[in-house]
Amino acid sequence: MSKVDKAILDKQLERLRGDKTLLQAFVDVLSMDPSEEADINRFVLKTVMDKYDEIMNCAENDIPFMAAYFANCPEIFTAMDVPWWIFLQTPFLGVSSPFLASDTDETEKMGLATDFCTVLRLAMFYVEKNLTPKPAGLIALLHPCDGTVVIHQAIGKTKAWHDVPVFGADSPYWDDERTYKYYGEETKRMVDFVTQCTGKKLDIDRLREVCKISNQTYQLWADYNDLRKAVPCPHDWTIGPPQCFALACYYYPGKIEAVDWFKKLVANAEKRVKAGTGMAAGERIRALWFDILPIMWQFDISPWLEQEWGVNIVMNMFGYTPYEPIDTKNETTMFRGLAKRSLSQVPMIRQARGVADNFLGDIERIVKDYKIDCVIWPGHMGHKDGNASIGMMREKCRELGVPFLSIGLDLFDKRYTAIDEVKDRISKFFQASGLGQKK
């Protein structure tokens, strides 16, 4: 590799290496904790680091890898043995906080409207400024929001990625058999695209094995979610829904590592439920945080919620999805099952893509099943569809007899609504809705 190439590559890997350093610090801290829960979390962090290593290795050694999403039927990538990653992982995880704010400021100079979702602006910034490794192909996400549709068109026009082939599977608006058939066919076209980009082919028998493992994973996830219904909830904010999502849908889709991890998680939760010991100290308010929850917000909000108010976020949008197993009988049933999972079941996509019924239905089921005391909609500035659902959410919560709070913030830029203001709004909400006083 030439010196110039190495310089470009170093730049492309700069953020990944930075993230890894930070993650290593978290792992080191957790290593001092001998508990089972710390061990469970350590595995997740190491998994994230492994993903960085895998992609960096591909970039350094010219191994084709794909940029894709958790809603692109990732079991297929496992079956094809294709390395892939979500290139907006860096802002999504929020682990890169030392440069996240300055990167966000830089996005403003690109000329993309500042009311455009910050995480997508950051993704565009990383591509345009060559701060992310270049994939062999990009699989765009055409749902659940407008931002994803346009940002992938824009990325395809950048100098850095103008020669990266792009494919987007067209996603209908419904949740019915016609939709799954159509999307299943689109997914088959995606497989052809991945083959063109990487030279790897899909073996249907291998896909069947992967789907079977994936089904086991999702069954264990469902078992775990059932355990979280217990009062007190076995786990606190440090462990649970985000990790389940990350392992099942992204890092180990259809891989035995996910099954093994979930088994440990379930066993740990089961033990706690039997003993009646929740991790959250003095769980008094059981909350549903109905949106995504990046790591950096968790550190700012979740410990404060627990310590000051006795709040345990028992469930969030990314942890809850009523899955059904993929029928592995034949190719048609598998693609149908993968399509259904990708459109109607995967978190955030499930709630945000189609009509508001899933959105509201999930709130109702979670509130009832998890004995929820209040629903918090953070109102991320990029989630325009969700923010157009606040009236419906409020009415649904009123019908269920639980208080509802809509905040209005940017989950990727803490300056949009300052943390103190968020805390103030939450505090006033708890006081006004009779959920008690500060501890």
Partner 1 sequence: METKTKSRVLQEFQEASKTLMNPALKKEKDKGAKIIGYFCSYGPAEIITAAGMIPFRIRAIGSTGTDLSDAYLSNINCSFCRNALNMGLAGEYDFLDGLIVLNNCDHVRRIYDNWRRKIKTPLVQMVSLPKKISDPSIQWYYDEMKIVKKAIEDKFNVKITDDKLREAIKLHNETRRLQRKLYDLRKKDNPPITGADTLAVMVAATALPLKQYNQMLKELIDDLSKSEGVGKAKARLLVIGGVLDDPEYIKVIESTGGLVVTDVLCYGTKNFRAEIDEKMKDPIAALAKYYIADRPSCPRMFGDQLRRAQLVKDLVKEFKVDGVIGQRIVFCDLWAGEIYMLNDDLKEAGIPFLKLDREYIMAGAGQVRTRVQAFIESMGR
Residues within the interface to partner 1 (CB under 8 A): 110-113, 115-117, 140, 142-143, 145-147, 149-154, 157, 166, 168, 170-174, 178-179, 182, 185-186, 355-357, 379, 381, 384-385, 387-392, 394, 406, 408
CB of 357 to partner 1, least distance (A): 8
Using only C-alpha atoms, what is the Rg of the chain?
Answer: 21
Q: Cβ closer to partner 1: 272 or 383?
A: 383
CB of 182 to partner 1, least distance (A): 6
- DSSP summary character for residue 325: P
Helix axis angle for 36-61 and 3-31, nearest 10°, is 170
CA–CA distance, 284 with 312 (Å, rounded to integer): 8
CB of 256 to partner 1, least distance (A): 35
Residue 95: closest CA among 154, 57, 51: 51
CB of 323 to partner 1, least distance (A): 23
Q: Cβ closer to partner 1: 391 or 401?
A: 391
- DSSP summary character for residue 409: B
Task: Report residue 3: phi and psi, to 5°.
Answer: -65, -40
Q: Cβ closer to partner 1: 117 or 296?
A: 117
Q: Cβ closer to partner 1: 31 or 173?
A: 173
Structure tokens at 145: 């929001």
DSSP SS3 for 311: strand
Cα distance from N-terminal residue to C-terminal residue, the chain: 60
CB of 397 to partner 1, least distance (A): 14
Kind plus residue range of the DSSP H or E element containing 40: helix 36-61
CB of 80 to partner 1, least distance (A): 23
User: Would you call 106 exposed, middle or buried from its count of C-beta atoms within 10 A (0-12, 13-18, 19+)?
Assistant: middle
Q: Cβ closer to partner 1: 41 or 389?
A: 389
Q: Cβ closer to partner 1: 200 or 384?
A: 384
What are the start-end ranges of the H helices in 276-356? Answer: 295-304, 331-340, 349-352
Q: Which amino acid belongs to residue 76?
A: I
Q: Cβ closer to partner 1: 36 or 385?
A: 385
Q: Cβ closer to partner 1: 260 or 385?
A: 385
Task: Report residue 83: phi and psi, to 5°.
Answer: -65, 140
Q: Cβ closer to partner 1: 277 or 332?
A: 332
CA–CA distance, 152 with 166 (Å, rounded to integer): 8
CA–CA distance, 73 with 216 (Å, rounded to integer): 16
Contact (Cβ atoms closer than 8 angstroms) between residue 45 and residue 30: yes
Contact (Cβ atoms closer than 8 angstroms) between residue 335 and residue 79: no
CA–CA distance, 366 with 86 (Å, rounded to integer): 28
Kind plus residue range of the DSSP H or E element containing 139: strand 137-140
CB of 70 to partner 1, least distance (A): 19
CB of 361 to partner 1, least distance (A): 12
- DSSP summary character for residue 126: H
Task: Report residue 68: phi and psi, to 5°.
Answer: -150, -170
CB of 404 to partner 1, least distance (A): 12
Q: Cβ closer to partner 1: 264 or 384?
A: 384
- DSSP summary character for residue 307: I
Structure tokens at 243: 């990790």
CB of 152 to partner 1, least distance (A): 7
Contact (Cβ atoms closer than 8 angstroms) between residue 260 and residue 284: no
User: Could you write out the DSSP letters of every residue in 420-432?
Assistant: HHHHHHHHHHHHH
CB of 259 to partner 1, least distance (A): 35
Q: Cβ closer to partner 1: 18 or 361?
A: 361
CB of 420 to partner 1, least distance (A): 21
Q: Cβ closer to partner 1: 267 or 355?
A: 355
